[in-house]
Amino acid sequence: MSRSDAWVTEVQVCPSILAADFGAFRAQVRDLMDAGARTFHVDVMDGHFVPVITFGHEVVSALADDVHDRGGSLAVHMMVEQPERFAAEYAKAGADSFTIHIEATRDIHMALQIVEETGMIPGVTLNPATPVSAVAEAARYARNLLCMSVSPGWGGQKFIKATTDRLPELRKLARTDAGVEADGGIAAETIVEVYKAGANRLTAGSAIYKQPDPGQAYLDLVEQVRAAGATIA
């Protein structure tokens, strides 16, 4: 596990390794940590809840030592059916938080409890078509509320503008020790409005990894958020 879990409520730009070069993702993570990144977003997809299949707990295990040794965190976003079934193996692999879709589990409260019992930080995600009210009760038990700002399953999609209306509602529901995260289409054109709408965790994939210099792209996004008034360590 990582350092103190205070990182959940900090303002951070979180690189999403879904957009990384899988042949060099460990080196890219190290380079981004050199630039200041501390929380890395790991998308896990099963080909059922979403059509795409991505990496599993082995990727978390491969990154854990490098990230944790430098005070970083691994935030796993589970886009799989009944994700609580896999909580123990991701905790063992070194995940620090484990965020699950409210649409993907039969009993969100039990699922969040299972996650918390592993020592990971439990979070809940909602898709763009799911009303914010659907997570009102679950928000009492979650330490991260993730608002999808694109349809889940693929990187590189365009930001859904209605997200900025949903984030203030999520912020009102969030516990004082919980973060609010926006994931999807976060780029230079959208990152400030998402931050101002209430998100403190700003997850960006293509806007970082698909640029000629990912480290500089990360720093450019950080600077935009700082210029908007955020304090970023």
Q: Which of 227, 211, 230 lies closest to 20 in space, CA to CA? A: 211
Edge-first strand order for the sheet with 73-79 is 12-15, 201-204, 179-183, 144-148, 121-126, 97-101, 73-79, 39-45
Reply yes or no on whether 43 is catalytic.
yes
pLDDT at 225 (0 to 100): 98
Question: Do 145 and 181 meet the contact criterion of CB atoms below 8 Å apart?
Answer: yes
- Per DSSP, the three-state class of 172 is helix
C-alpha 181/C-alpha 14 separation (Å) is 10
pLDDT tens-place string over residues 82-103: 999 999 999 999 999 999 999 9
Task: Report residue 205 as tokens.
Answer: 């994939």
Query: For 10-54, how does the pLDDT look when each residue is reduced to its tens digit (9 = 90+)?
Result: 999 999 999 999 889 899 999 999 999 999 999 999 888 887 878
Tokens read off for 119: 């020592």
pLDDT digits 0-9 by tens, 143-200: 999 999 988 766 666 898 999 999 999 999 999 999 999 998 999 999 999 999 999 9
Which residue segments constitute the domains of the chain, with CATH numbers given?
8-227 (3.20.20.70)
Look at phi and psi of residue 94 and say left if phi exceeds 0, alpha if psi is from -120 to 50, else beta. left
Does pLDDT of 3 surpass 60? no
Summarised one tens digit per residue, pLDDT across range 119-154 is 999 999 999 999 999 999 999 999 999 999 988 766
Predicted confidence at residue 155, as pLDDT, reads 61
Contact 76, 99 (CB under 8 A): yes
For position 156, what pLDDT does the model report?
63
Q: Model pTM?
A: 0.94
Residue pointed to by tokens 């599993």: 56
**b/e per residue 1-28 (b: at least 16 CB within 10 A):** bbeebebbbebbbbbbbbbbeeeebbeb
pLDDT band at 233 (very low <50, low <70, confident <90, very high): low
* Catalytic residue of the set 43, 66, 177, 213: 43
**Chain centroid to CA 66:** 19
Quick check: is 183 catalytic? Answer: yes
> Residues 108, 111, 113, 117: what is their CA dihedral angle, to the nearest 10 degrees?
-160
pLDDT in the model for residue 2: 44
Given the residues 31, 183, 213, 220, the one annotated as active site: 183
For residue 23, the SS3 value is coil
